[in-house]
Chain A
Amino acid sequence: MDKSNLSRRGVLKSGALTSAGLAVPTIFTAQSAAAFTNEPTGGSVTLGFNVPQTGPYADEGADELRAYQLAVEHINGSGDGGMMNTFSSKALQGNGILGKEVKYVTGDTQTKSDAARASAKSMIEKDGAVMITGGSSSGVAIAVQGLCQEAGVIFMAGLTHSNDTTGKDKKANGFRHFFNAYMSGAALAPVLKSLYGDDRRAYHLTADYTWGWTQEESIKAATEALGWETVNTVKTPLAATDFSSYIAPVLNSGADVLVLNHYGGNMVNSLTNAVQFGLREKQVNGKNFEIVVPLYSRLMAKGAGENVKGIHGSTNWHWSLQDEGSQAFVRSFGTKYGFPPSQAAHTVYCQTLLYADAVERAGSFNPCAVAGALEGFEFDGLGNGKTLYRADDHQCFKDVLVVRGKENPTSEFDLLEVVEVTPAAQVTYGVDHPMFAGGALGSCNPGA
């Protein structure tokens, strides 16, 4: 009978060594998993698209979702590639992001801050989303941006125009491609001066929330710098539907310009009411009465119908632009869905490509590495000309379009015409501009 070589000390030694050996990869994996929130470990990566699927901006949300789906398709290598073909950065290869297939989950913001935060939280905690993007309201964008900062994921803002998003409420994990209220004012002012002169009296009706306030402040500052006088600024409830009682006082106010700081249903109704009261045919101070809608959207223009004809405003992008990038996107989107994309669709498509590209260039999904790749990034070919993602506030600086409601549209989509492409330099402001003061970017949070 053979004598066994096993001893108590030997078993303990071997057990300890084996345990240590088995633990090493676990420790590495554990360290690796804890490096940042929702680090993708398998063959796919999940993005969270948080858009209004119900509520007043559901149509914008639906268009955003279409654009997100198209972007995912292109990043994963399907379809015609869209703006990936015209994008100045060539990091994306059509094989997902860092070789991982892109998957997505969607949430419904309902255009309510609390609902938007809840759906974003669920996508981060339950679905493992490594990036959250979307929104069609500044209130929602600011709320979700704050949540993403705390959770340690990147937030790529959708349609948000308030100065505060990259002003006093800016966050290191948040990035905005869309333009802002200051830029609208800076782009519109010279056009308004050349059209209506520098001796005008303006009356503002303003939606009573963060976006309305900053837009009113921006347009007021820009027009007063022209020499215009501001007769009155009246806040209107976001829930208002009939603006006639706000329009009627304008008739006897001595104002000769009405500025409607309204968006969505508010804009459609206030503009319709203003036209009903004959403001466009009115003569005041020996001049034609004029209406200005600083933030335009084609979807809103459709709602306002004939009333938008000849009325000026600004927009982030329009499908009729003739540059290569815009044409590629319109062709891709139009072929898939049968109609041209909205500015909301364009900005979220760009944001998805920009995020994917930043991850590729950084070589990591770590939010801090991605933020580093986006900060100061200069690019072209995405429909807005040369663009800079400024490092100091995570705001994109690019050309801004001044548009006018088309007098003789040739189709149901042909509602706006581009009057001027305002160069980025004209809408660029200092980091310390007072309209953007009061907040700090802070440092990037990788979470976990």
Chain B
Amino acid sequence: MDALLLQILNGLDKGSAYALIALGLTLIFGTLGVVNFAHGALFMIGAFVAVTVQRVLSLSYETVDPSQKDFLGNPLKVKTPYVESWFGPETGGMIIDWSVPIAIVFAIPIMVSVGFIMERGLIKYFYKRPHADQILVTFGLAIVLQEVVKYFYGANPIQTPAPDALNGVANVGAAFGMDIVYPVWRIVYFFFSVTIIAAIFSFLRFTTFGMVVRAGMADRETVGLLGINIDRRFTIMFGVAAAVAGLAGVMYTPINPPNYHMGMDFLVLSFVVVVVGGMGSLPGAVLAGFLLGILESFASTTWATTTLPGINQIIIYLVAIVVLLTRPRGLMGLKGVMED
């Protein structure tokens, strides 16, 4: 029972990242009709915003300590972060320790700006082009972005740990007399994702802006004829989708040290999630994200890998095939979407 609950928890936490990326992808597809293969790159850029904030907060000055030697036998240059000298070792250390949550504040405007630039600078020229063209240009953009990141940050993963206070494990089963320990930051990530998803749904559901966007998604021409600048609103939604992907990336950095390729690693899976959930369906993307996360988690159990070796590597694609054969529009897909 403990093992079962542990895998469900694990699936929910895995599914959080899938759901957040798939939500952004679906938002862009639903509003602008663009299949954005650069969406994984936005997730990666978000993660590197966290890395950059950590590096900026850790900027240091050097003092020579003659009592210690470096690898060449010269007196060691000891680095002291500026924040520690300005605010004292304790407060300065705490600021560096909390660099990932602090990065959220910077990531929102940065990611919205990146989204605007991407949409206005490139993607808007491909609205009326076939989906194949959109895929090619956005995939190319993703490769360019990851190479730029690699040029500045290298190819190896970079540790970006969670604050010490959120770095341990919590016994989430203690209240029920069970022993289920789970990393605290992963629990934080799950609740963060749920909050973001709820915020996006509320924004679309309960604000006038959201209502107009939903109307535009259903019938762009009619909304335009009413004198509403729907293109501008859709551009803003592209920025919002970029921010969602970026925030997912920022918060993901303590789970796995970011590297330049992390966007691509998630991109294919997220597209499978979107297809399984149903192209253009926001609830479908979220539902499929969590469902596939849980399935993937169960497929990696000892029982599953010994009964069906390799099942852990193909389960998501197997499910996608079955869903597409039985429900070609996906779990919650809408009629008419991508069927022209």
Contacts and interface: CB of A to CB of B under 8 A. Distances in A.
Interface of A: 54-59, 208, 232, 234-237, 239, 241-242, 244-246, 248-249, 251-253, 265, 268-269, 272-273, 276-278, 281, 299-300, 302-307, 319-320, 330-331, 334-335, 339-340, 410-411, 413-414
Contacts of A273: 255-256
B202 interface: no
Contact of A278 (B3, B169, B266): B169
Given A273-B255, A303-B156, 12 more contacts: A57-B155, A244-B255, A252-B6, A268-B157, A272-B255, A272-B256, A276-B185, A277-B181, A299-B156, A303-B157, A307-B159, A330-B71
B261 interface: yes
A237 B313 contact: yes
A278 B157 CA distance: 21
Q: Which among B257, B265, B301 has the highest number of chain A CB atoms within 10 Å?
A: B257
Contacts of A299: 156
Contact of B186 (A56, A244, A281): A244
Contacts of A245: 7, 10-11, 14, 296-297, 299-301, 312
Contacts of A277: 169, 181-183
B302 A249 contact: yes
B297 to A, nearest CB: 4
B175 interface: no
B302 A253 contact: yes
Given A245-B297, A272-B256, A276-B255, A305 B155 contact: no
Contacts of B296: 245
Contacts of B299: 245
B158 interface: yes
Nearest to A237: B313
Interface of B: 2-3, 6-7, 10-11, 13-14, 17, 68, 70-72, 76, 147, 150, 154-159, 161, 168-169, 181-183, 185-186, 255-257, 259, 261-262, 265-266, 296-297, 299-302, 305-306, 309-310, 312-313
A337 to B, nearest CB: 11
Given A232-B302, A234-B305, A303-B156, A265 B183 contact: no
B256 A241 contact: yes
Contacts of B161: 305-306
B159 A244 contact: no
A248 B11 CA distance: 11
B325 to A, nearest CB: 24
Contacts of A253: 302
Contacts of A55: 155
A411 B76 CA distance: 9
9 contacts: A208-B313, A232-B305, A246-B312, A248-B7, A248-B297, A248-B300, A273-B256, A278-B168, A330-B71
Given A244-B186, A245-B312, A340 B256 contact: no
A272 to B, nearest CB: 6
A413 B150 contact: no
B51 to A, nearest CB: 12
A277 B117 CA distance: 39
Contacts of B68: 410
B15 to A, nearest CB: 11
Nearest to A236: B312
A69 B159 CA distance: 30
A414 B78 CA distance: 13
B38 to A, nearest CB: 19
A232 B306 contact: yes
B159 A276 contact: no
B69 to A, nearest CB: 9
A34 to B, nearest CB: 42
Contacts of A319: 71
A302 B156 CA distance: 9
Contacts of B157: 265, 268-269, 303
Contact of A234 (B150, B181, B182, B302): B302
B136 to A, nearest CB: 20
A248 B6 contact: yes
Contacts of A234: 300, 302, 305, 312
A339 to B, nearest CB: 8
Contacts of A414: 71
Given A244-B186, A265-B259, A269-B257, A331 B313 contact: no
Nearest to B7: A248
Contacts of A59: 154-156
A56 B300 contact: no
Nearest to B254: A276
A235 B310 contact: yes
A245 B302 CA distance: 10
Contact of A413 (B71, B155, B168): B71
Q: Which among A245, A302, A411 has the highest number of chain B CB atoms within 10 Å?
A: A245
A393 B72 CA distance: 37
B245 to A, nearest CB: 16
Contact of B159 (A248, A303, A331): A303
A411 B257 contact: no
Contact of A411 (B2, B70, B168): B70
B168 A56 contact: no
Nearest to B184: A276
